[in-house]
């Protein structure tokens, strides 16, 4: 399949195609698959009593009728049994994108399933399954080539389920973020058409040249705290932004009683209200461009702290701001979903930013953030844990959230 | 335990309320026309029907019970069978036992379906949980993609060809042209069939049924009642029903008929060669071929040769889907499963008029329904015998 070409200049007389979504209705149990897909895991329902995998998700095991159905990591290999191409699908979303390839596969885990099938998959061929979030934000199975390193990226069906930066224009909200240089570099390497970095308080010194030396990278004034600055930016770039990477942060240490209220309010402003201001101005334009060709608006990425999920008493005010930002991001995700635009939250451990200077290693550097962001966009994920500390807290939260609360007292 | 026969239970008064592609009337309207035609045909009041078995996908928010008040019925046997293409067989089997055991005297079996411009789409969106979770999100809204996957495999495994499917479709269209109620009015040639546009290969345009509004109905009663009313009737000689058979087959290659077929003929005291007219469930022509195999007309995997060796028109040596089938007469939702029973009832009682197969005494009608996920779940078949069968 030919690699995706950069989009042509848009015809200003043509109406932008409004986003349609694939059928999004699911049973409550099916959202176990959504949870796995959001993190890029391949997990299937398995009976805890007799160990049989089954699919679709059931309320009782068809082999032994146990109600103990668990989601477990499953082998992702499968063999294609049969394939077709929907030339005239009944559903409008698929009709616009037809022909659409569909296959029936026998999973190595046992069950059979309908899948979105990559272009070369035919009966008898081996495929590798992935649980993906489709444009409706719901879990679906995609069957790609089995060989390691084989790239499904050129398959338009795969692109529908991902937010690949290739040929897209990206806004990084804060050029002064510790992660900004690495993000710009990684996005350029991933083929982003433009990377725009917002520079708050542009009168303060800033060495933009290092960034703008990269092809397609620019630095423009942008104060998320200012209505006017945000409005000016959106007026110029609202229809030219397909991916937003929100790096806004304002970490100041301090406990629940000893911390500065002013610092907490500043954190709330920076982490919660500033991105809200940008989203209210920019996100409607992105939602409207969710189906604007193969490089239409695709994703909003938030750089959050893992303390949004597990507050640190030593960082009380900031943790609260992170938690507020996380809560708000779920509502933003719901709104973006109307246009098929994804929202990816990166949960980081302590970072290489100035305010974590005294924190012990391991810390998350810009390169780790950038690599996670690009990988998450390419795979269409919703949640990623970046760095060993974040992954450790994720595992501990899954096991016992109350223990994490107590353990956080020790930092 | 050997199954007990149906003894003096008979089917009478075959009713088809002529189909329409689209209808502004409600499903209840179509059910009402069917009941009125049953009453008129039987020469009795609909209030004398003390059993009511109703099949529909489009009756919401009503089920069978609400319709009793709607139509002034007071049945002592009530059944609701929204089971798609197998509803007719299921409905008939239950009604026959109710009559045989005296739980009811006259059961009206009615399948009615309306079809507004958007009815089919609404029906799809709420068809089944597995479909919602694991079929529609793949662009497989409607059965075409799902059956294309089964058909592709069937062709690969058995060597069946589009020419085979085309031969069946052309014969059905030929039959439909003799049925004034069939929706399809133009002749179809094999070349037209083969050149039709692809819907989801190997499924092409003429492999697909046309959803429509319509109703199919018949009465189940004791032989003495039919005789007293002076009604032509047919005996229910044998029946089978099976759901979710062969779940272990990775792709559907057979239906539950393959499991129960010996019982069907043993019960009816006949063999496949003793059948004069056959109406299979034809949501797709390859499904007819699967039934030829599973119902014993040929061996598994040999339907292609069987199709090429026979003539499936009304005057042919293997009269099949004599009313035109769903493919040429239309698919009135759940009525598709009743269509074959009603047509075979007409045939074996000599009431088929322009589609009559001369000398037809014994006929087989089969049903197949509900593609819940990756395969059709329900299968059933009945053998009806007219006078002298």
pLDDT digits (tens, 9 = 90+) for A338-361: 999 999 999 999 999 999 999 999
Listed residues A160, A186, A221: the one ending a domain? A160
CB contact under 8 A, A86 and B145: yes
Same domain? For B148 and B108 the reply is no
Token pair belonging to A61: 């095991």
Q: What is the pLDDT of residue A3?
A: 81
B166 touches B202 (CB < 8 A): no
Which is more confident, A94 or B140? A94
In a domain, A21, yes or no: no
**Radius of gyration of chain A, Cα coordinates, nearest whole angstrom:** 22
Same domain? For B187 and B272 the reply is yes
A147 touches A155 (CB < 8 A): no
Q: What is the pLDDT of residue A192?
A: 97
Per CB-CB distance under 8 Å, the chain A contacts of B146 are 114
At residue A171 the predicted structure's pLDDT band, cuts being 50, 70 and 90, is very high
A312-334: b (≥16 Cβ within 10 Å) or e: bbbbbbbbbbbbbbbebbeebbe
Same domain? For A204 and A173 the reply is yes
In a domain, A201, yes or no: yes
In a domain, B2, yes or no: no
Same domain? For A349 and A264 the reply is yes
Distances (CA, A) of A288 to A19, A165, A285, A338, B115: 7, 18, 5, 9, 34
A121 touches A101 (CB < 8 A): yes
Cα B382 to Cα A172: distance, rounded to the nearest angstrom: 69
Same domain? For B45 and B148 the reply is no
In a domain, A335, yes or no: yes
Q: What is the pLDDT of residue B129?
A: 93
Same domain? For B180 and B42 the reply is no
A56 touches B133 (CB < 8 A): yes
Listed residues B179, B195, B229: the one ending a domain? B229
Provide the ipTM.
0.92
Average pLDDT (B271-291) is 98
Same domain? For A173 and A156 the reply is no
String of DSSP letters for A18-41: PP--------TTTHHHHHHHHHT-
Average pLDDT (A22-47) is 96
**Torsion region of A168: left, alpha or beta (phi above 0 gives left; psi -120 to 50 gives alpha):** beta
Same domain? For A339 and A271 the reply is yes
Average pLDDT (B327-350) is 97
A108–chain B Cβ distance below 8 A for any pair: no
A55–chain B Cβ distance below 8 A for any pair: yes
In a domain, B3, yes or no: no
Same domain? For A273 and A325 the reply is yes
Same domain? For A120 and A238 the reply is no
CB-closest option in B124, B134, B197 to A114 = B134
Q: What is the pLDDT of residue B122?
A: 75
In a domain, B123, yes or no: no
- The three-state DSSP-derived secondary structure of chain B is CCCCCCCCEEEEEEEEEEEECCCCCCHHHHHHHHHHHHHHHHCCCHHHCCEEEEECCCCCCCCHHHHHHHHCCCCCEEEECCCHHHHHHHHHHHHHHHHHCCCCCEEEEEEEECCCCCHHHHHHHCCCHHHHHHCHHHCCCCHHHHHHHHHHHHHHHHCCCHHHHHHHHHHHHHHHCCCCCCCCCCCCCHHHHHHCCEEECCEEHHHCCCECEEEEEEEEEEHHHHHHHCCCEEEEEEEEEEECCCCCCCCCCCCCHHHHHHHHHHHHCCCHHHCCEEECCCCCHHHHHHHHHHCCCCCCCCHHHHHHHCCCCCCCCCCECCCCHHHHHCECCCHHHHHHHHHHHHHHCCCCHHHCCCCCCEEEEEEEEEECCCCEEEEEEEEEECCCC
Query: For testing the chain A interface, which of B128, B139, B143 should be mutated: the one with the most A CBs within 10 Å?
Result: B139
Cα B181 to Cα B325: distance, rounded to the nearest angstrom: 11
At residue B80 the predicted structure's pLDDT band, cuts being 50, 70 and 90, is very high
CA-based diameter of chain A, in Å?
70
Average pLDDT (B96-115) is 97
Q: What is the pLDDT of residue A152?
A: 73
Q: What is the pLDDT of residue B38?
A: 98
Alpha helices in A44-177 (DSSP H): 92-97, 156-160
Chain A, window 10-39: residues with a beta carbon less than 8 angstroms from a chain B beta carbon: 22-27, 30
User: Is residue A2 over pLDDT 80?
Assistant: no
CB contact under 8 A, A27 and B132: yes
CB contact under 8 A, A23 and B156: no
A86–chain B Cβ distance below 8 A for any pair: yes
Q: What is the CATH number of the domain that holds A265?
A: 3.40.50.720
Q: What is the CATH number of the domain that holds B60?
A: 3.40.47.10
For chain B, give the mean pLDDT: 96
CB contact under 8 A, B374 and A114: yes
Per CB-CB distance under 8 Å, the chain B contacts of A27 are 129, 132-133
Q: What is the pLDDT of residue A316?
A: 96
Query: For testing the chain A interface, which of B118, B138, B246 should be mutated: the one with the most A CBs within 10 Å?
Result: B138
A102–chain B Cβ distance below 8 A for any pair: yes
Per CB-CB distance under 8 Å, the chain A contacts of B152 are 82-84, 123
At residue A37 the predicted structure's pLDDT band, cuts being 50, 70 and 90, is very high
Listed residues A99, A129, A160: the one ending a domain? A160
Same domain? For A333 and A401 the reply is yes
In a domain, B263, yes or no: yes
Pairing of strands A100-107, A77-86: antiparallel
In a domain, B131, yes or no: no
Same domain? For A191 and A151 the reply is no
**pLDDT tens digits for range A160-170:** 999 999 999 99
Same domain? For A399 and A256 the reply is yes
CB contact under 8 A, B139 and A89: yes
Token pair belonging to A392: 């450790």
User: Is residue A14 over pLDDT 80?
Assistant: yes
CB-closest option in A23, A85, A134 to B200 = A85
At residue A241 the predicted structure's pLDDT band, cuts being 50, 70 and 90, is very high
Same domain? For A82 and A229 the reply is no
Q: What is the pLDDT of residue B121?
A: 75
Domain count, chain A: 2
Cα A385 to Cα B370: distance, rounded to the nearest angstrom: 43
Domain that holds residue B22: 9-118+213-229
User: Is residue A79 over pLDDT 70?
Assistant: yes
B305-314: b (≥16 Cβ within 10 Å) or e: ebbeebebbb
Same domain? For B106 and B155 the reply is no
At residue B389 the predicted structure's pLDDT band, cuts being 50, 70 and 90, is confident
In a domain, A16, yes or no: no
Same domain? For B176 and B280 the reply is yes
In a domain, A17, yes or no: no
Per CB-CB distance under 8 Å, the chain A contacts of B148 are 84
Domain that holds residue A323: 169-410
CB contact under 8 A, B201 and A57: no
CA-wise closest residue to B29 among A12, B37, A357? B37
CB contact under 8 A, B150 and A22: no
At residue A5 the predicted structure's pLDDT band, cuts being 50, 70 and 90, is confident
Cα A325 to Cα B108: distance, rounded to the nearest angstrom: 63
Average pLDDT (B321-345) is 97
Average pLDDT (A250-266) is 94
Query: For testing the chain A interface, which of B128, B130, B133 should be mutated: the one with the most A CBs within 10 Å?
Result: B133
CB-closest option in B138, B150, B247 to A140 = B138
Listed residues B194, B229, B264: the one ending a domain? B229
In a domain, B136, yes or no: no
Residue bearing tokens 């690949």: A164
At residue B124 the predicted structure's pLDDT band, cuts being 50, 70 and 90, is confident
**Radius of gyration of chain B, Cα coordinates, nearest whole angstrom:** 19
In a domain, B222, yes or no: yes
In a domain, A371, yes or no: yes
Same domain? For B218 and B297 the reply is no
CB contact under 8 A, A114 and B146: yes
- Closest Cα in chain B, distance from residue A104 (Å): 7
At residue B120 the predicted structure's pLDDT band, cuts being 50, 70 and 90, is confident
Pairing of strands A342-348, A383-386: parallel
At residue A1 the predicted structure's pLDDT band, cuts being 50, 70 and 90, is low
- Closest Cα in chain A, distance from residue B119 (Å): 13
Helix axes A227-237 and A274-288, enclosed angle (nearest 10): 20
CB contact under 8 A, B203 and A84: yes
CB contact under 8 A, B149 and A22: no
Q: What is the pLDDT of residue B118?
A: 83
Same domain? For B346 and B266 the reply is yes
Token pair belonging to B366: 């089969």
Same domain? For A245 and A323 the reply is yes
At residue A109 the predicted structure's pLDDT band, cuts being 50, 70 and 90, is very high
Same domain? For B74 and B180 the reply is no
| Sign of torsion over alpha carbons B206, B207, B213, B214 | positive
At residue A411 the predicted structure's pLDDT band, cuts being 50, 70 and 90, is low
Q: What's A409's DSSP letter? A: G
In a domain, B127, yes or no: no
Query: For testing the chain B interface, which of A86, A109, A136 should be mutated: the one with the most B CBs within 10 Å?
Result: A86
**pLDDT tens digits for range B142-194:** 799 999 999 999 999 999 999 999 999 999 999 999 999 999 999 999 999 99
Same domain? For B201 and B314 the reply is yes
- Closest Cα in chain A, distance from residue B232 (Å): 44
Listed residues A117, A142, A160: the one ending a domain? A160
CB contact under 8 A, A112 and B251: yes
Same domain? For A249 and A391 the reply is yes
In a domain, A2, yes or no: no
CB-closest option in A24, A106, A114 to B138 = A114
Domain count, chain B: 2
B34 touches B17 (CB < 8 A): yes
User: Is residue B209 over pLDDT 70?
Assistant: yes
In a domain, A181, yes or no: yes
Same domain? For B277 and B367 the reply is yes
Residue bearing tokens 């055991």: B101
Same domain? For B373 and B292 the reply is yes
Distances (CA, A) of A408 to A259, A313, A359, A360, A403: 17, 7, 14, 15, 9
CB-closest option in A85, A87, A114 to B135 = A114
CB contact under 8 A, A87 and B198: yes
- Closest Cα in chain A, distance from residue B197 (Å): 9
């Amino acid at each position: 399949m030919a690699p995706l070409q950069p989009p042509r200049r848009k015809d200003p007389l043509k109406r932008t195609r409004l986003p349609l979504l694939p059928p999004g209705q699911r049973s409550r149990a099916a959202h176990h698959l959504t949870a796995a897909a959001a993190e890029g895991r391949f997990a299937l329902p398995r009976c805890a009593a007799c160990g049989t995998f089954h699919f679709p998700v059931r309320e009782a095991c068809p082999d032994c009728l146990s109600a103990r159905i668990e989601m477990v990591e499953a082998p992702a290999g499968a063999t294609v049994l049969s394939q077709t191409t929907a030339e005239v699908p009944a559903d409008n979303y698929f009709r616009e994108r037809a022909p659409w390839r569909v296959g029936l596969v026998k999973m190595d885990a046992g069950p059979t399933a309908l899948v979105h099938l990559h272009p070369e998959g035919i009966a008898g061929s081996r495929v590798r399954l992935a649980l993906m979030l489709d444009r409706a934000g719901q879990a679906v199975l995609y069957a790609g080539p089995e060989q390691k390193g084989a790239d499904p990226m050129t398959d338009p069906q795969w692109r529908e389920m991902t937010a690949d930066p290739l040929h897209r224009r990206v806004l990084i909200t804060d050029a002064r973020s510790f992660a900004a240089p690495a993000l710009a570099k990684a996005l350029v390497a991933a083929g982003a058409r433009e990377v725009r970095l917002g520079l708050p308080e542009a009168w303060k010194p800033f060495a933009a040249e290092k960034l703008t030396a990269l092809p397609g990278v620019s630095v423009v004034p942008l104060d998320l705290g200012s209505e006017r600055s945000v409005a000016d930016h959106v007026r110029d770039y609202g229809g030219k932004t397909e991916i937003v990477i929100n790096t806004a942060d304002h970490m100041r240490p301090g406990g629940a009683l000893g911390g500065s209220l002013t610092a907490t309010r500043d954190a709330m402003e920076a982490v919660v209200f500033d991105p809200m201001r940008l989203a209210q101005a920019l996100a409607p334009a992105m939602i409207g461009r969710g189906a604007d060709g193969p490089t239409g608006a695709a994703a909003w990425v938030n750089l959050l702290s893992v303390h949004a999920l597990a507050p640190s008493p030593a960082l009380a005010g900031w943790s609260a701001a992170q938690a507020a930002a996380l809560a708000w991001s779920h509502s933003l995700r719901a709104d973006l979903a109307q246009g098929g635009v994804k929202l990816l939250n990166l949960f980081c451990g302590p970072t290489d930013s100035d305010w974590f200077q005294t924190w012990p290693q391991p810390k998350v550097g810009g390169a780790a953030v950038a690599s996670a962001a690009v990988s998450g966009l390419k795979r269409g994920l919703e949640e990623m844990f970046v760095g060993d500390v974040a992954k450790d807290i994720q595992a501990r939260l899954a096991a016992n959230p109350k223990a994490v609360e107590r353990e956080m007292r020790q930092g | 335990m050997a199954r007990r026969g149906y003894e003096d239970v008979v089917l009478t008064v075959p009713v088809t309320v002529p189909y329409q592609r689209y209808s502004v009337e409600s499903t209840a309207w179509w059910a009402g026309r069917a009941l009125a035609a049953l009453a008129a045909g039987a020469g009795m009041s609909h209030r004398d029907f003390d059993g009511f078995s109703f099949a529909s996908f489009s009756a919401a928010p009503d089920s069978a019970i609400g319709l009793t008040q709607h139509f002034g019925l007071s049945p002592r046997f009530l059944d609701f069978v929204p089971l798609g293409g197998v509803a007719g067989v299921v409905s008939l089997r239950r009604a026959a036992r109710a009559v045989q055991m005296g739980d009811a005297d006259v059961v009206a079996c009615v399948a009615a379906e309306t079809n507004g411009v958007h009815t089919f789409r609404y029906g799809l969106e709420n068809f089944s949980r597995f479909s919602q979770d694991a079929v529609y999100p793949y662009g497989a809204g409607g059965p075409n993609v799902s059956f294309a996957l089964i058909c592709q495999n069937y062709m690969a495994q058995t060597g069946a060809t589009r020419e085979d499917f085309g031969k069946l479709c052309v014969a059905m269209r030929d039959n439909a042209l003799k049925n004034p109620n069939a929706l399809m009015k133009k002749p179809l040639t094999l070349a037209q069939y083969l050149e039709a546009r692809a819907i989801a290969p190997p499924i092409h345009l003429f492999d697909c049924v046309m959803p429509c509004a319509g109703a199919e109905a018949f009465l189940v009663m004791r032989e003495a009642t039919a005789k007293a009313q002076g009604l032509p009737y047919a005996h229910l000689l044998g029946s089978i029903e099976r759901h979710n058979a062969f779940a272990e087959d990775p792709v559907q290659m057979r239906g539950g008929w393959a499991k129960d077929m010996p019982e069907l003929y043993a019960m009816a005291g006949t063999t496949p060669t003793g059948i004069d007219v056959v109406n299979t469930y034809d949501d797709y022509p390859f499904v007819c071929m699967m039934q030829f195999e599973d119902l014993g007309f040929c061996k598994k995997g040999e339907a292609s040769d069987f199709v090429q060796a026979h003539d499936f028109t009304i005057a042919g040596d293997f009269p099949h889907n004599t009313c035109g089938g769903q493919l040429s007469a239309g698919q009135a939702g759940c009525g598709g499963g009743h269509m074959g029973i009603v047509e075979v009832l007409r045939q074996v009682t000599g009431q088929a008029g322009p589609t009559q197969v001369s000398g037809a005494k014994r006929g087989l009608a089969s049903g197949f329904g509900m593609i819940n996920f990756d395969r059709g779940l329900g299968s059933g078949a009945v053998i009806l015998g007219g006078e002298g069968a």
